[in-house]
Amino acid sequence: MSDDNATKSNMAGWTPTQGYVMAVVCLLIGIAGGYLTRGSSSPMATAPVPNAQPMANPAASPSQMAPQELQQALAQQLPPLQERLKSDPNNAELLADVGNMYFDARQYNQAAPYYRRVLQLQPRNTDVRTDLGIAYWFLGNADQAIGEFQTALKTAPTQANTLFNLGVVQWKGKMDAEAALATWQKLLDTNPGFAGKDKVVQMMAQARRHLGIQPGTKTDKPMQ
């Protein structure tokens, strides 16, 4: 059965209001998927890409790079780091860089094991733990994502990117708008200069419309 047919089949027994609400939710999942913010720096953000077309913004983030550019950057930069890891397998910085490269190339299943290895060496590395949480989210596991974010917040209770991402997954992964609003309010209260403040305010306004939806309501797998 195609995805479209499956969706139509699942909605067949819904009231018009329920169908409308879930259509809005599924649309916003796609929007929120692009909202997640990395905890750690990105080694591929400004890396030279051979034979790539010029980008309008030379400092564009990996998420703004075309898939072909991402793959070219990965193929160029990854082998030297992996070679270095053979002689220094417990180098947390190298492990994080490799994980970040896979992350930037949207290969989250490859990034996660490197992040876990970093955390075995540096369990209080909240940037890497936040990135691991995002990887779990894109792999479709909201519970694991939330668990990593909450663990990071035990070490750094006001870390802005972690709070931001936790709110996104609470809202879109668990359909718990109330929890997301509380998380984002804490973000704004403790980080008044947060660069993404306007985005947070916008998402809070959208989340308030979903306060009547039962937490845990099933939604589609988060879109990248």
pLDDT in tens, the chain (224 residues): 433 333 333 333 333 333 333 333 333 334 344 566 776 655 443 332 222 222 222 233 455 677 778 778 888 888 998 899 999 999 999 999 999 999 988 999 999 999 999 999 999 999 999 999 999 999 999 999 999 999 999 999 999 999 999 999 999 999 999 999 999 999 999 999 999 999 999 999 999 988 877 676 655 443 33
Residue 186 lies in a domain: no
How many structural domains comprise the chain? 1
Contact 136, 109 (CB under 8 A): no
pLDDT at residue number 58 = 28
- The residue written with tokens 């804490």 in the block is 186
Residue 61 lies in a domain: yes
Residue 104 lies in a domain: yes
Query: pTM, whole model, 2 decimals?
Result: 0.71
Q: Which two tokens stand for residue 126?
A: 């909240």
pLDDT at residue number 213 = 74
Residue 63 lies in a domain: yes
Sign of CA dihedral 156, 158, 160, 165: positive
Helix (H) or strand (E) holding 97, with range, is: helix 92-104
Residue 103 lies in a domain: yes
Contact 165, 200 (CB under 8 A): no
Residue 192 lies in a domain: no
CATH code (residue 110): 1.25.40
> How buried is 108 (Cβ within 10 angstroms: 0-12 exposed, 13-18 middle, 19+ buried)?
buried
Residue 151 lies in a domain: no
Residue 43 lies in a domain: yes
Domain that holds residue 109: 39-122
